[in-house]
Chains A and B, each alone.
Chain A
Amino acid sequence: MIVETGAYLLALALALSLAQAGLSAAGRARVSPVLAGAGQGASIASAAAVFASFLTLVWAFAASDFSVANVAANSHTDKPMLYKVAAAWGSHEGSLLLWCLVMTGFGAALARARGLPFRLKTSAVAVQGGLSALFLAFAVFTSNPFARLDQVPAQGASLNPLLQDPALAFHPPMLYAGYVGFSVCFSLAVAALIEGRANAPFWPAWGRWVRPWALASWAMLTVGIALGAFWAYYELGWGGWWFWDPVENASFMPWLAGAALLHSAVVTERRGALAGWTVFLALLAFTFSMLGAFLVRSGVLTSVHAFAVDPERGIMLLAILGLTAGAAFALFAWRSPQLKGGGLFAPVSREGALVLNNLFLTAAAATVLLGTLYPLILEAASGAAISVGPPYFAATFVPLMAVACLILPAGPLLAWKRADALGAAQRLWVAAAAAVVLGLLAFALFEPKKAMSAAGVGLGGWLIVGALVEVAERIRLFRAPGAETLRRAKGLPLAAWGMTLAHAGLGVFVLGAVVETGFKAEAARTIAVGESLSAGPYSARLDSVRIAEGPNYLAEQAILTVTTRDGRAARQVTAERRFFPAGGQTTTEVGLDFRGVDDVYLTLGERRGESARPAWAMRMYFNPWARLIFLGPALMALGGLLSLLDRRLRLGAGARRKPA
């Protein structure tokens, strides 16, 4: 009964979203606050209905109601409660419901947003309602998560054990919050194209309205992607964290477009310029989100032919994508010629630097887009099969982003409109010196000698010190008396600290990625108890192997002692292989020993050798600075959050201020 209520609530939410779109559109057309208010009410009610529907699905999973097809296919009574609940969004149907939940939730937040002009807001709520209705219809008609089974199985088929992991339980909600958060930017952009006037002072205000949504979505997407990469790192057991896999790329495209959007929205807000471009990016970010959903959900990635196997969902998603993005970009093509104007600026200026940042971020997004779609297009067009993997991105994406990183620290030091390039260069000499010293040190100290990796270390230093220089400038560190510096630091808006943190976080990530990729060491040996293997400056001795029992699995656990090569600083590490009887799968649990920012990474393989003297295939990786790869994105997301908090304060302050 509860489950039927969930299905009913989902259908109700669809009706409410349609009402939201219809009432808001009518409210806008007749300039009627009553109709518009009803549309906003429908938006909030729709979110409430999806939320309740989602709760019933979570309940069905928590209670292991195997009469529900989705639960039977993805859950099991032996599973820990966290993974029973997380399985609610582990399947196609469940994750689509999560998508709808986030979408209507953001729609409700938009409906409650203050300070937006009536026409723009009403149009945006109407567009958001239309988007929600499309995805809810997709859920109701092709992917009902509440479908019942005629014959109730005694036990469920369990969730893929690889996915039973804390990082992966929270990865989809964060990722979707980011993906779908961009839908509000999309709706605001469409509304702006409908309502915006040429040369009106409308655009700076619009930039201010769209930025909090872009910031929140981008920060959550950052966390979601980082969690996914961390999961791949310690769960798949290959020592890698990013494989340029199409599924990863699908989440990376909206991130890049969102990062570009954040920056170009600043220019629109402060200077009224680049309005058309900012609108374009707002449309693009959510289009990439939908494209990602299509790629991942349609099966088209495995092969063009797999797409034909279950075409209904794929075609529906493609239709939604084509309809929404097609309509929005057509509207853009029609209206954007009127979006000229705004403050002019010289090539060397804050605006100029942000334009360059946008150019490179967009070109980088283009490499990811092409690298992901090209094999599919080529195979469909000519039948030729190619693979696009890490070497392609190393040759295209990496140099583009490296140039973007080179420009980055200069941007915040340049003045708006027209800047003094020499002045910025003088202030950046500390960062440049630090970068050169770090690069040289890396070249001298790290083995084997790699010039490019050493240069990458220098680039990371350039970003971090460059970000710190900017803050030091603003608070007049060492130039003014300490009290003055402290006063300035307190007075610095949170957004400024947020920017510094995000830029330094990028530098931290670059350091980690470059050093881990360039200088990781690996060893693989079959060893018996008492024997050891070594990688980098560390050795691992196999002390014992035992069988242990988990809640829904059995594990073979290898206890190892990790020491430096000369036998000091001993620490015990457990590496496991888990067997899940419910699905018959085996997974590896990596033994991770954190050594400062370095990781010693151990995986237990198959048992080999004669039964009298068993031995195990062990793999050991020394991943230098790997901690920084995940610390960097955390700092970037935190920077986004700080910026967001600041905006809320400023919007509040703006509302209180009376016109002079």
Chain B
Amino acid sequence: MRRALTIAAAVIVLSGGPAVAEPAVAPDRPLADAGQEARAQALFEGIRCVVCQHEAIADSPAGVASDMRRLVREEIAAGRSDTQIRAGLVERYGDYVLFKPPVRIGTWLLWFGPFALLLAAGSVLLLRGRKSASGETSPLSVDEERRLAERLADEDVTS
């Protein structure tokens, strides 16, 4: 009996009946124009589903993501540019909605930090290399290697 009930419940859930855990999401209607739809898909990849953990609206099964996809498609159909659409979304949801953070003073470290690190470390190395280029040393000779091994062995009481 319990199993029969479980199966019944499962059938209802799987078939999208009234017991569904997540609300049924209206299916996406792609834009008729293939070029416009491609633009929409590209935009979806960079827009965050505002109720999800870390998902783009392109990937999210949530209802909000579906609404946002419809909104973007509507705006494309209305002739707005990608920049206008993004700006509109930011106005509505804040910078949080875009996976590409804005470049402003507060995010300079984020955007340029790694490159600054690379440049700084590279310059330090170059300068140091110049300084030490005057003196040249040779690698360990066979004799030196042997003395290294002996010294290490002496030190090694037991291990």
Contact = CB atoms under 8 A, between A and B. Distances in A.
Interface string B110-130: 110111011001100110010
Query: Which DSSP category, helix, strand, loop or mixed, fits chain B's interface?
Result: helix
Contacts of B158: 33, 37, 118
B87 interface: no
B74 interface: no
Given A240-B59, A246-B54, A360 B118 contact: yes
Interface in B77-95: 94-95
B146 A384 contact: no
A584 B21 contact: yes
A201 B140 contact: yes
B152 A344 contact: no
A359 B111 contact: no
A363 B117 CA distance: 7
Is chain A's interface secondary structure helix, strand, loop, or mixed overall? mixed
B99 A362 contact: no
Contacts of A385: 94-96
A585 interface: yes
A374 B6 contact: no
A333 interface: no
Given A245-B53, A391-B100, A554-B10, A121 B159 contact: yes
Interface in B1-45: 6-7, 9-11, 13-16, 21, 24, 27-28, 30, 41, 45
Interface string A92-123: 00000000000000000000001111110110
Given A359-B121, A362-B117, A659-B146, A386 B96 contact: yes
Contacts of B150: 659
A389 B95 contact: no
Contact of A392 (B100, B118, B137, B145): B100
Interface string B146-159: 11111110011111
A220 B115 CA distance: 30
A396 B95 contact: no
Contacts of A212: none
A606 interface: yes
Interface string A296-309: 00000010000000
A29 interface: no
Interface string A209-252: 00000000000000000000000000000101001011000000
B21 A201 contact: no
A370 B110 contact: yes
B148 A205 contact: yes
Interface in A373-404: 374-375, 378, 382, 384-392, 395-396, 400
B72 interface: no
Contact of A374 (B54, B102, B110, B149): B110
Contacts of A76: none
A116 B159 contact: yes
A118 B157 contact: yes
A625 interface: no
Nearest to A201: B148
Contacts of B114: 363-364, 366-367, 370, 396, 400
Contacts of A374: 101, 107, 109-110
A115 B149 CA distance: 11
Contacts of B27: 526, 608, 617
Given A374-B110, A387-B95, A606 B125 contact: no
Contact of A371 (B56, B110, B115): B110
B159 A392 contact: no
B76 to A, nearest CB: 17
Nearest to B25: A606
Contact of A547 (B14, B95, B107, B139): B14
Given A400-B114, A526-B27, A389 B155 contact: no
Interface residues of A, number: 75
Contacts of A537: none
B46 A386 contact: no
A355 B106 contact: no
A343 B139 contact: yes
Nearest to B99: A389
B108 to A, nearest CB: 11
Contact of B156 (A117, A346, A388): A117
A395 B102 CA distance: 13
A579 B97 contact: no
Contacts of A526: 27
A343 B137 CA distance: 7
B73 interface: no
A387 B159 contact: no
Given A344-B136, A359-B122, A363-B117, A389 B54 contact: yes
Contacts of B118: 359-360, 363, 400
Given A201-B148, A524-B28, A581-B6, A384 B122 contact: no
Given A201-B144, A547-B14, A554-B10, A392 B54 contact: no
A51 B56 CA distance: 41
In this complex, the member of A33, A389, A526 whose beta carbon has the largest number of chain B beta carbons within 10 angstroms is A389
Given A355-B125, A607-B16, A382 B106 contact: yes
Given A243-B54, A384-B106, A370 B113 contact: yes
A154 interface: no
Given A240-B59, A363-B114, A581-B6, A390 B109 contact: no
Contacts of B99: 387-392
A117 B155 contact: yes
A347 B101 CA distance: 37
Given A201-B140, A374-B101, 12 more contacts: A205-B148, A347-B129, A378-B107, A384-B106, A386-B96, A387-B96, A387-B97, A391-B99, A396-B115, A554-B14, A579-B9, A581-B9
Sorted nearest first, the 7 A-B pairs with minimum C-beta distance are A389-B99, A391-B100, A554-B10, A201-B148, A238-B59, A385-B96, A366-B114
18 contacts: A37-B158, A116-B159, A243-B55, A359-B125, A363-B115, A363-B117, A374-B110, A384-B106, A387-B101, A388-B110, A391-B98, A392-B99, A396-B111, A556-B15, A606-B24, A607-B14, A607-B16, A608-B16
Interface of A: 31, 33, 36-37, 114-119, 121-122, 201-202, 204-205, 238, 240, 243, 245-246, 271-272, 302, 343-344, 346-347, 355, 359-360, 362-364, 366-367, 370-371, 374-375, 378, 382, 384-392, 395-396, 400, 417, 522, 524, 526, 547, 549, 554, 556, 577, 579, 581, 584-586, 606-608, 614, 617, 659-660
